[in-house]
Amino acid sequence: MQVQPEAVYATDEYGRPFIILREQGRKTRSHGIEAIKSHVLAARTVANIIRTSLGPRGLDKILISPDGDITVTNDGATILSQMEVEHQIAKLLVQLSKSQDDEIGDGTTGVVVLAGALLEQSEALLDRGIHPIRIADGFDKACTVAVEQLDRISDRVPFSLENKQNLIKTATTSLGSKIVSKEIQRFAEIAVDAVLTVADLERRDVPFDLIKVDGKVGGSLADSTLIKGVLIDKDMSHPQMPSIVKDAKLAILTCPFEPPRPKTKHKLDITSVEEYKKLRDYEKEKFEDMIRMVKDTGANLVICQWGFDDEANHLLMQNDLPAVRWVGGPEIELIAIATQGRIVPRFEDLTPEKLGKAGIVRELTFGTTRDKMLVIEECANTRAVTIFVRGSNKMIVDEAKRALHDALCAVRNLVVDNRVVYGGGAADISSSIAVAKAADEIPSIEQYAMRAFASALDAIPLALAENSGLSPIETLAEVKSRQVTENNPRLGIDCSGKGESDMKKQFVYDPLISKRQQYLLATQLVRAVLKIDDVIVAGEAEG
C-alpha cells in the first residue's frame, strides 16, 4: 500500500514553487486539534524550503516569474514574496518575513526558520494532550525570558564618524551570506559611508529617502561606487548640449515646454498657409518666452518632468540652456532635496530663490555603449547619496542591491541602538540555555512549552551547522556544553571553518534589535496559529 505524503512541494508551469497539502484535496473540513496540526504542517513545509538558505554558507534559490524572468537569491523575504502559496497559514509566514523586512531589514530567513521550529515543537505538545492556549502561554513566558537574556548578553559597540570599524564589521556579517561576498569589504564600507553621510547621530535617525541605490549591467562588482550626490538614468536632451555643467543652477520644472492648450477637448482648423505660419510663429514665440523666463532667473540647467518636442529642444540648445527631460517624480524629488531647489509647476512662478545648486553636473559614459547617465555632485545638501552598483548581468545587480539593502538596514539598526549580540547562533544557544533553566522553576504545565521553546531556539544554530557541512547535532552539543562550562555566551557555530568558535573574535555581530524582533514576531505568529482551530471559507456551505 502506497502512503500519501502529508505535503508535496511542487512547481507550476512557470516554475513557481507552491505547496499541496493532503487536506486541500478533501471536501470535508478538519476542526479543532486536527486543523491546528494541518496549519503546523503547512508552516513547517514553508520553513523547510528556506531553511537551507540560512547563514553564510546558505544555498541560493532560483525563482522564475510568470513571464520567465529569473531571480537568484537567498534572501528570505524575496523568496517568500515570489512563492505562490495557497495555504492560509503559509501566507501568514510570508507576511511574517515581510514585516521583519519592513521593520528591521535583516534576519528575514531566521525569523521564518524560528517560527517553523516553534510550530514543529508545538505539534509534539499537542500530541501529548496539552491545550493549545497553554502552549501559547508557555511560549509567551519563554519569549520574555529569551529577550531578557539577549539584553543581558548584549554589548555596546562604540562608533563615530572617525572610527567606523565596528559598523563595517556588522555590515560584513550581514553581507557574508550574499552574492557580493567576493567584494565584501568594499560593499560594507559603501553601506557604512552611505548611512553615516545621511544619519543624524544626535537624534539617532537615518532617513533612507536620501539614499538611492541604482545599478547598471556591465563592469564587475568591484566597480560599484558611492556617489555623494544624485545619479539619474538620463542624459542631456540634445547630443550637442555640453556634457559638463559647472556651478549648476537647476530649474526643476513639472511643466512641459509646450504651447499652452485648453484643458478641455479642443479642435483647431487650419485652412490656409497664412494661418499655419501664424500658428508656427505663435508656438515659437511661446517657446522663446518660456526659455527667457528660465534664463532670467540665472538658471543654466533645466530638469523637466515632461518631454519637449524637437523645436523646443533646438531652441534650448541655441540659447545655451542644457536640459534633461522625462525625469521621474521620485528622482525629481530627490534632486530637489539634494540641491535644495524648489519644484516649480509654472514658468511664471520661477524665481532665482527657487533654483537648486550643485557644484558640477556631468554625464557618465560606459565603455563602448551609447548609454549615458547624469551625475549631480557637490550638491547644496551634502547628505544625499547614491550607491551605484555594477555587475556582469541583471541577476547579479539585483541581488547586490538586495544585499546592500540588508547591510544598510543592519548599520542603520546600530545607529539607532548600538547594542549587539553575537551571531553564528551564539545568542540563540545562550537564550535556549536560559529558557531551559527558567522552565525548571515553573511548577505549572507551561514548563513543557518553555522547554519546547528552548529546543526551537536550537533550530537556528542547527541549520547554520547543517548548511556549513558540519555534523549538526554533534556541533551544537559541543558548543552548548562549552557555553555552559565556560559561561561564555559568545560561543557559536564556526561556519567559516576558521577553528574559532568565539564570535567576538570572528567579529560576527548581530544588532540586538534585529534578534529581539525575530523572537517577538515569531512568537506572536505561533501564538496566533495555535489559536486557529477552524478555517471557514466565505460563501461555502458546511460539507
Burial class (CB in 10 A: 0-12, 13-18, 19+), 427: buried
Sequence letter at residue 363:
E
Helix axes 446-457, 459-467, angle to 10 degrees: 20
Would you please indicate which residues are annotated as catalytic (active-site) residues? 75, 108-109, 406
| Helices 512-530 and 32-51, packing angle to 10 deg | 150
Q: What is the 3-state secondary structure (H, E, C) of 372-432?
A: EEEEEEEECCCCCEEEEEEECCHHHHHHHHHHHHHHHHHHHHHHHCCEEEECCCHHHHHHH
Q: Helices 512-530 and 394-416 meet at what angle, rounded to 10?
A: 100
Write b or e for each residue in 512-532: b if 16 or more Cβ atoms lie within 10 A of its Cβ, otherwise e: bbbbbbbbebbbbbbbebbee
What is d(CA 254, CA 251) in angstroms, rounded to the nearest whole number?
10
70's grid cell: 529569473
3-class DSSP state of 265: coil
* DSSP character string of 451-504: HHHHHHHTHHHHHHHHHTTS-HHHHHHHHHHHHHHHT-TTB---TT--S--BTT
d(CA 149, CA 433): 10
Please report how the helices 132-153 and 446-457 are oriented relative to each other, as an axis angle in degrees rounded to 10: 50
Residue 383: Cβ within 10 Å count: 15
3-state secondary structure 81-97: HHCCCCCHHHHHHHHHH
Cβ atoms of 307 and 231 closer than 8 Å: no
Query: Are the C-beta atoms of residues 357 and 380 closer than 8 Å to each other?
Result: yes
Q: Sheet holding 155-156: strands in order across?
A: 155-156, 419-422, 509-511
Q: What are phi and psi of 344, to 5 degrees?
A: -110, 125
Q: Which three cell numbers stand for residue 64?
A: 522564475
**How far apart are alpha carbons 404 and 272 in whole angstroms?**
62
Give the sign of the dihedral formed by CA 126, CA 131, CA 136, CA 141: negative
